[in-house]
């Protein structure tokens, strides 16, 4: 099973100007490499058989004949291979010469795609030799002993994907041919290019390729000429990119005198899922649908298994290391503050009330409240932090809760829930030594009642602290910590909560709060509803009960964001967490995730308001609408079959 991945390659061979025999030998060498590594499709630079910089030699019939012989050689060479090859070649058609991409496989030409836009400015003067596709039209051409369609309106279909081809300058057009190809169904666009170098151009091109793949919700594979092209007036540095919906999967080092082969796997299943949910893409496709698109079928056999060379991020919610990390964290934190500020102003409340446990979620919520009050130029004394020690509260979390509230300068209240819960157990006839779900949930509901009533006392707003991961798993007490008047963490997953608290400690917090925040980050995650052990340490650790949050956040991201099958998520998790979790552990917690996700939807169906900070949220008013009684059987069957 290939799980929707298509392995592609962008090749930059060494060339000799106007020497098709040498050039074809280099192309064949790279085809062997790509084929041996499981590539399904490989693309070479523009006019790769002849080289791009032949100038007026394109008028020489000798060069054109040698190019055709070179293409015949390639067809024979690939006769026993499944790999689809895309090479550049000049082709005589309709009395003119066309700059074409030849698509071939297993000794057969699948089609010829001519270049639509010919640059004729600055160092480029292609119209001196070539005719643009719009002038020549389309039709069959006799080449290499075969009649083959020459048309810019072509798609090529394999069992794994549908792809289209454009050539160099086509990408720079206001409406590139790739736009039409993608709207007609191309999952991947291949671009044969001869991109010259100048200072600053590389960054522009890299952005252009990434943006085009994002705009088209497609894969984009770009291969440009390198060492060996003429340097009479310009230099070709050998650029090669593989992009997927705006994400750069792989790229070649520039200015190498060696041949280069860049490979990666494009997730076509992901791209198709993205297009299905993107109503703007579908509306555009309906608007630009044409009847004259030709589709050529390949004979490629889909791979049974695939080995990924691309990186699978084990922490998809956490901003990547690098210069953008601080900006991303600041954006997330600011969105939370903006949402809360609007709610405070709209309700005209005087205070905000939240429970402070000394854990990650309440810490992040408190930090958001503090920053929001600063922005509104309100005294932090209007933030009412209530610590509510219970039967499972440990000295570590209690001390951190008190210390952080003191350091942030908010109003502190301490209200023990022990006596109230014991009275409640007596009222309902529950044995307090029986530490079951009633014992645990009674404490969570008592705390929520205190917060709600305290807010009424002080014209306040209860700020919820629960996070996205807890909502996904249903790890919240219904009408307990599940409820608030505004939930600032509702779309922030646990792995991101931990990271944001650490980031705040290192970038925003002063010396007095930094140590407290970092100790909170290192504290085991727990609801602390069960008494501590004999040494006073946390006994009830959430991740021992429901599984590691880093796994659950990974599962959640790929299920909700991409709509993947359990079997594909299992495969991706094994790749992302290789050496960290066994196959049995991943399967166990994946099964737990699906079981809990489906069973606990009723809690998500009545969530309080809260800001969306990222690409995933489970609000019933926003990203996720699911019946509370939806059946999980199909997903569970797939998990059990792993």
Sequence length of the chain is 642
In the residue annotation, 152 being an active-site residue is answered as no
C-alpha 123/C-alpha 131 separation (Å) is 18
250 close to 264: Cβ distance less than 8 angstroms: yes
Centre a 10 Å sphere on the Cβ of residue 327 and count the other Cβ atoms it contains. Answer: 10
Return the ∠ at Cα 111 (arms to 115 and 24), rounded to 5°.
80
String of DSSP letters for 247-302 = EEEEEPPSS-SS-EEEEEEEEHHHHHHHHHH-HHHHHHHHHT--S--EEEE--PPP
C-alpha 428/C-alpha 491 separation (Å) is 35
Q: Which residues of 115-131 are buried (b: 16+ CB within 10 A; e: fewer)?
A: bbbbbeeeeeebeebbb
> Of 54, 66, 85, 115, which is the active-site residue?
115
Centre a 10 Å sphere on the Cβ of residue 522 and count the other Cβ atoms it contains. Answer: 10
Look up residue 130 and give its two tokens. Answer: 């070539």
Centre a 10 Å sphere on the Cβ of residue 623 and count the other Cβ atoms it contains. Answer: 14
String of DSSP letters for 430-453 = --TT--SHHHHHHHHHHHHHHHHH
> Of 85, 100, 144, 168, which is the active-site residue?
168
In the residue annotation, 46 being an active-site residue is answered as yes
C-alpha 573/C-alpha 565 separation (Å) is 12
CA nearest to 12, candidates 192, 169, 140: 192
In the residue annotation, 115 being an active-site residue is answered as yes
> Of 7, 40, 46, 587, which is the active-site residue?
46
CA nearest to 34, candidates 311, 320, 261: 261
Residues with catalytic function: 46, 115, 168
């Amino acid at each position: 099973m290939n799980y929707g991945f298509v392995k592609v390659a962008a090749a930059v061979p060494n060339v000799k100007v106007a020497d098709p025999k040498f050039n074809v030998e280099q192309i064949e060498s790279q085809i062997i490499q790509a084929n041996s590594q499981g590539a399904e499709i490989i693309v070479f630079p523009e006019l790769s058989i002849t080289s791009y910089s032949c100038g007026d030699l394109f008028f020489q019939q000798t060069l054109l004949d040698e190019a055709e012989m070179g293409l015949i050689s390639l067809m024979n060479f690939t006769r026993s291979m499944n790999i689809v090859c895309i090479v550049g070649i000049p082709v005589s058609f309709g009395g003119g010469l066309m700059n074409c991409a030849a698509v071939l496989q297993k000794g057969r030409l699948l089609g010829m795609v001519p270049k639509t836009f010919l640059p004729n400015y600055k160092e480029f003067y292609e119209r001196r030799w070539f005719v643009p596709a719009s002038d020549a039209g389309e039709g069959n051409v006799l080449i290499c002993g075969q009649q083959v369609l020459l048309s810019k309106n072509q798609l090529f279909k394999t069992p794994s994907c549908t792809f289209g081809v454009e050539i160099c300058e086509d990408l720079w057009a206001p409406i590139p041919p790739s736009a039409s190809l993608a709207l007609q169904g191309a999952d991947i666009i291949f671009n044969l290019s001869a991109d010259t170098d100048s200072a600053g151009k590389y960054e522009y091109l890299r952005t252009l390729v990434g943006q085009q793949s994002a705009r088209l919700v497609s894969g984009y594979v770009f291969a440009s000429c390198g060492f060996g092209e003429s340097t009479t007036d310009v230099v070709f540095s050998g650029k090669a990119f593989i992009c997927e919906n705006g994400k750069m999967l792989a790229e070649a080092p520039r200015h190498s005198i060696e041949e280069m082969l860049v490979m990666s796997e494009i997730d076509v299943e992901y791209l198709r899922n993205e297009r299905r949910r993107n109503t703007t893409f579908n509306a555009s496709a309906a608007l630009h649908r044409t009847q004259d698109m030709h589709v050529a079928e390949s004979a490629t056999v889909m791979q049974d298994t695939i080995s990924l060379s691309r990186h699978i991020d084990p922490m998809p919610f956490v901003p990547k290391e690098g210069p953008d990390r601080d900006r991303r964290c600041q954006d997330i934190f600011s969105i939370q503050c903006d949402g809360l500020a609007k709610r405070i102003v709209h309700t005209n409340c005087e205070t905000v009330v939240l429970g402070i446990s000394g854990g990650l979620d309440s810490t992040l919520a408190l930090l958001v409240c503090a920053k929001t009050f600063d922005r509104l130029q309100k005294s932090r004394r209007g933030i009412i932090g209530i610590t509510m020690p219970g039967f499972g509260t440990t000295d570590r979390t209690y001390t951190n809760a008190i210390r952080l509230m003191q350091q942030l300068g908010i109003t502190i209240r301490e209200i023990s829930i022990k006596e109230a819960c014991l009275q409640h157990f007596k009222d309902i006839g529950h044995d307090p030594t029986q530490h079951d779900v009633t014992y645990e949930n009674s404490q969570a509901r008592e705390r929520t009642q205190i917060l709600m009533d305290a807010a009424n006392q002080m014209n306040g707003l209860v700020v919820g602290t629960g996070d996205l991961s807890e909502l996904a798993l249903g790890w919240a007490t219904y009408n307990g910590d599940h409820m608030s008047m505004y939930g600032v963490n509702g779309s922030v997953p646990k792995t991101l909560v931990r990271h944001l608290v650490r980031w705040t400690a290192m970038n925003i917090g002063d010396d007095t709060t930094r140590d407290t925040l970092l100790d909170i980050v290192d504290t085991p995650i727990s609801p602390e509803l069960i008494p501590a052990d004999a040494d006073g340490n946390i006994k009830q650790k959430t991740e021992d009960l429901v599984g590691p949050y880093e796994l659950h956040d990974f599962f959640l991201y790929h299920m909700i964001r991409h709509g993947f099958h359990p079997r594909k998520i299992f495969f991706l998790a094994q790749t992302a967490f290789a050496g960290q979790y066994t196959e049995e552990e991943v399967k166990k917690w994946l099964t737990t995730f699906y079981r809990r996700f489906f069973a606990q939807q009723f809690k998500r169906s009545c969530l309080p308001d809260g800001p969306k900070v990222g690409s995933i949220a489970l609000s019933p008013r926003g990203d996720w609408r699911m019946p509370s009684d939806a059946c999980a059987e199909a997903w569970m069957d797939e998990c059990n079959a792993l």
